Amino acid sequence: MARREFQMPNVLRHDGLQPYWYIRYRRKVLVGKNQIERKEVWHRLGDCDQITKRQAMRLRDEIMLDVNREVYTIPSHIEFTDFVEIYKKHHIPMLAAGAQAKYRCLLERQILPVFRSMKLCDMDTKTIQAFLNSKEKEGLAWWTRNDLKNIVSRIFSKADD
């Protein structure tokens, strides 16, 4: 089992015309397939005349909660198309023949062209809702839009598993 990393950077003050509080920490980034790289991030917490150092330390603690839980977030940086290929290989064959054809057709013609360049972590409720709303404006039937919603929902359920 890999050793868990824990970071608690100091709150630093940048002096200049407009002094501000900031922290520096390292974040794991998925560079290639199964390749993780650590990048340094400078995060500005706030101006010194608006927040105290104690408030900046509280903000640092909130930010570092997410950073220190990265063991669970790294897999979500997989590209959407890569995960769809896994989904097609492992989960679509379990469906009936008609459902398999419908899923493959909707994935290839409707879903992948829109989300091809995105990562799983970049897709949120607003993005998917905007996608479904655009399909309504294109004149797609309610049943087709419902199928699209169900397919995307099942993909994320399997990604969560």
Domains of the chain, first to last? 12-74 (no CATH), 80-160 (1.10.150)
pTM of the model: 0.56
pLDDT digits (tens, 9 = 90+) for 103-123: 999 999 999 999 888 888 778
Report the pLDDT value the prediction gives residue 18, as an integer from 0 to 100: 93
Q: Are the C-beta atoms of 21 and 56 separated by less than 8 Å?
A: yes
Helix residue ranges, H only, 3-141: 53-68, 70-73, 80-90, 97-106, 112-115, 125-137
Q: Which residue has the tokens 């390749």?
A: 35
Q: Are the C-beta atoms of 144 and 131 separated by less than 8 Å?
A: no
pLDDT digits (tens, 9 = 90+) for 134-152: 999 999 999 999 999 999 9
Q: Are the C-beta atoms of 140 and 99 separated by less than 8 Å?
A: no
Which amino acid appears at position 96 of this protein? Answer: A
List the beta bridge partners of residue 46: 21
